């Protein structure tokens, strides 16, 4: 490799490295050649014949995913001969395809539909009945398989063979009755099974979680970062807001991986992909004082009241946070709790509730996206064992909990330990198990309702954008910290006067 050669693509003189696949060289200069089986991360078996192009001097059209660029080569992907070859390839793919687009979840983002509209538009010359295969096969906990829709591009089998190396899918039968099926005795149940839905160019593999929820053309797509672990995969949030009666009233319909060669490549894990069910569940929307009775306050009144509470707590203030906070949140956190209030007790370690399975592909042990951001600011976390001891000893007068469920940290002891603290404050998007036994409740936005940055375990910073409007009065965490810090000067004056 290394030698740059000149070749002609669609009549334009181009340069590429010698031996680079024509389909990739064309993509580099913005010419898309239709393809199904070729995938940049899964290789190029050359079985779909969709990417055929005309090469001057060659007796037949050549598969551009199997042909390397040579000096002086003349390639055309849009000539009459190339188009005719592509149309024939598409017609062969559709011989047994059931054309059930109206009921297919893939429709709207389907390779067959796209290329039919782009290069097909033929009257099928096939008069025989279509071959019927099995439909609605539950391939695994997340994936539904429809053999009739399959065009046998083998992307999914290559994914389970080469990426996860779990081999749950394979090709069975021969000729007309050839089909993709789940390996006997297995189930498509690996940590990355959802990716086969993404690589499938047709509707053969579809998401069970997304099945019949929303048509894809209703979805708004926003670039985001997966908060599921410290890898921080680049994702796209697909939200359904224009037609709220779909998707059982939930706003986020699905999460899809977004290509990012530096972090996650093309993939994301199932834990992240399907782990958004709590986004709309039990959301805090109101600024509330819960004791002695439930009272709704304005943000300013709440900030003034809490500033008094925090200032008077002094040494007895402990803050429980989590790595769900963005870099911006951590900066405001440090400014408020470390610089202004000089708090000694910070607890945001992922143990015991925010750790989980780790593997070599993507998943990391810490199931929160941004512990590195806190580390970078010099924040240090104590262990929750220490916090439990100090709560038992009655050393903690005020407990400020940010985006964390105490029952998942302390288990059955949570309620008892919480009641040991004099004043308890919950800040976060969700109510969690003990949400009603706090003295104050501040609604914060979920990550899809704000923008910010996460620093992943390698120190790479990724930005996420705002996909949805905040619920109720909720504000981003950094804004809440800012409001409190602003109110602190008043609290100091009142404390001095008293």
Partner 1 sequence: MAITVRAVARPARTFATQIYLVEVWRGLAVTFRHLFVNLFRHAMKALGIRGFLPGSVTIQYPEDPAVLGKRARTRHRLLKRDDGAPRCTACLLCETICPAKCIRITAENAPDVAVEKRAKTFDIDLGMCVFCGYCVEACPVDAIHMDADDVELSSYSRQDMIWNMPELLGDKTKVPSGPA
Residues that bind partner 1 (CB under 8 A): 100-103, 135-136, 211-212, 215, 217-218, 243, 245-246
Shortest approach of partner 1 to residue 142 CB, angstroms? 16
Shortest distance, CB of residue 133 to partner 1, whole angstroms?
Answer: 12
Nearest distance, CB of residue 136 and partner 1, angstroms = 5
Compare residues 218 and 457 and give the one whose CB is closer to partner 1: 218
Q: How far is the CB of 141 from partner 1 (least distance, A)?
A: 17
At 415, give phi and psi (nearest 5°).
Answer: -60, -45
Of 176 and 217, the one with the shorter C-beta distance to partner 1 is 217
Q: Which residue has the tokens 């670039």?
A: 223
- Least separation, in Å, of the C-beta of 211 and partner 1? 8
End-to-end CA distance of the chain: 78
Of residues 129 and 360, the one with the C-beta less far from partner 1: 129
In the bound state with partner 1, the residue whose beta carbon lies nearer, of 101 and 186, is: 101
Helices 477-497 and 299-313 sit at what angle, rounded to 10 degrees? 60
CA distance 435 to 290: 10
Give least dist CB 213 to partner 1, A: 8
State whether residue 104 is helix, strand or coil. coil
Structure tokens at 148: 């009739």
DSSP letter (8 states) at residue 429:
S
Q: Which is nearer to partner 1, 107 or 407 (CB)?
A: 107
| Beta carbon of residue 242, minimum distance to partner 1 (angstroms, whole number) | 9
Measured from the CB atom, is 103 or 497 closer to partner 1? 103
Minimum distance of partner 1 from residue 218's CB (angstroms): 8
Nearer to partner 1, 242 or 493 (CB): 242
Nearest to 442 by CA among 336, 334, 305: 305
DSSP code of residue 56: T
The number of helices, as runs of H, and strands, as runs of E, in the chain is 13, 22
Residue 252 CB, shortest distance to partner 1, in Å, is 17
Residue with tokens 């669609």: 10
Spell out a b/e string for 409-423, using b for 16 or more CB atoms within 10 Å of the CB, else e: bbeeebeebbebbeb
Q: Are 398 and 421 in contact (CB under 8 A)?
A: yes
Asked if residue 402 lies in contact with residue 325, where contact means CB atoms within 8 angstroms, the answer is yes
Q: H or E element: which one contains 172?
A: strand 169-172
Q: How many CA atoms lie within 13 A of 361 on its CB side?
A: 19
Name the 3-class secondary structure at 336.
helix
Q: Residue 4 forms beta bridges with which residues?
A: 17
Cβ-based nearer residue to partner 1, 99 or 388: 99
- Closer CB to partner 1, residue 211 or residue 465? 211
Based on CB atoms, which residue is closest to partner 1, 75 or 252? Answer: 252
Q: Are 325 and 477 in contact, with CB atoms under 8 Å apart?
A: yes
- Tell me how far, at minimum, the Cβ of 134 lies from partner 1, in Å: 9
Distance CA 306, CA 123 (A): 72
């Amino acid at each position: 490799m290394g030698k740059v050669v000149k070749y002609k693509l669609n009549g334009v003189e181009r340069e590429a490295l010698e031996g680079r696949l024509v389909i990739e060289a064309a993509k580099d200069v913005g010419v898309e050649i239709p393809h199904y089986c070729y995938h940049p991360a899964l290789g190029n078996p050359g079985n779909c014949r969709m990417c055929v192009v005309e090469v001057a001097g060659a007796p037949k059209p050549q598969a551009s995913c199997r042909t390397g660029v040579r000096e002086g080569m003349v390639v055309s992907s849009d000539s009459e001969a190339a188009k005719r070859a592509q149309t024939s390839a598409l017609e062969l793919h559709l011989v047994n395809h059931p054309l059930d687009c109206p009921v297919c979840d893939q429709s709207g983002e389907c390779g067959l539909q796209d290329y039919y509209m782009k290069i097909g538009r033929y009257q099928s010359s096939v008069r025989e009945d279509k071959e019927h295969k099995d439909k609605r096969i539950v391939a695994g906990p997340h994936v539904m398989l429809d053999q009739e829709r399959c065009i046998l591009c083998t992307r999914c089998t290559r994914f389970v063979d080469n990426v996860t190396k779990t081999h749950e899918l394979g090709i069975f039968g021969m000729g007309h009755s050839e089909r993709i099926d789940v390996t006997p005795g297995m189930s498509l149940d690996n940590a990355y099974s959802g990716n086969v839905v993404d690589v499938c160019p047709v509707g053969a593999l579809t998401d069970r979680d997304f099945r019949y929820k929303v048509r894809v053309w209703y979805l708004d797509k926003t670039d985001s970062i997966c908060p599921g672990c410290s890898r921080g995969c680049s994702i796209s949030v697909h939200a359904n807001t224009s037609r709220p009666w779909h998707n059982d009233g939930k706003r986020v319909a699905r999460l899809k991986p977004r290509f990012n060669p530096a972090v996650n490549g093309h993939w994301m894990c199932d834990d992240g992909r399907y782990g958004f069910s709590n986004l709309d569940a039990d959301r805090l929307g109101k600024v509330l004082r819960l004791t002695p009775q439930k009272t709704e306050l304005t943000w300013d009144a709440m900030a003034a009241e809490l500033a008094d509470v925090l200032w008077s707590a002094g040494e007895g203030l402990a803050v429980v946070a989590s790595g769900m906070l963005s870099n911006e949140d951590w900066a405001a956190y440090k400014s408020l709790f470390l610089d202004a209030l000089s708090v000694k007790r910070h607890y945001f370690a992922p143990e015991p509730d925010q750790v989980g399975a780790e593997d070599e592909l993507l998943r990391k042990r810490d199931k929160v996206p941004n512990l590195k951001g806190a580390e970078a600011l010099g924040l240090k976390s104590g262990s929750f064992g220490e916090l439990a001891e100090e709560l038992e000893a009655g050393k903690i007068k005020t407990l400020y909990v940010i985006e964390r469920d105490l029952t998942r940290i302390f288990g059955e002891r949570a309620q008892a330990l919480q009641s040991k603290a004099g004043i308890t404050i919950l800040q976060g998007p969700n109510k969690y198990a003990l949400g009603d036994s706090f003295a104050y409740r501040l609604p914060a936005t979920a990550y899809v309702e704000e923008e910010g940055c996460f620093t992943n375990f390698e120190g790479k910073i990724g930005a996420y954008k705002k996909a949805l409007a905040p619920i109720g009065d909720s504000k981003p965490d950094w804004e809440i910290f800012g409001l409190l810090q602003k109110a602190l000067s008043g609290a100091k004056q009142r404390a001095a006067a008293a």
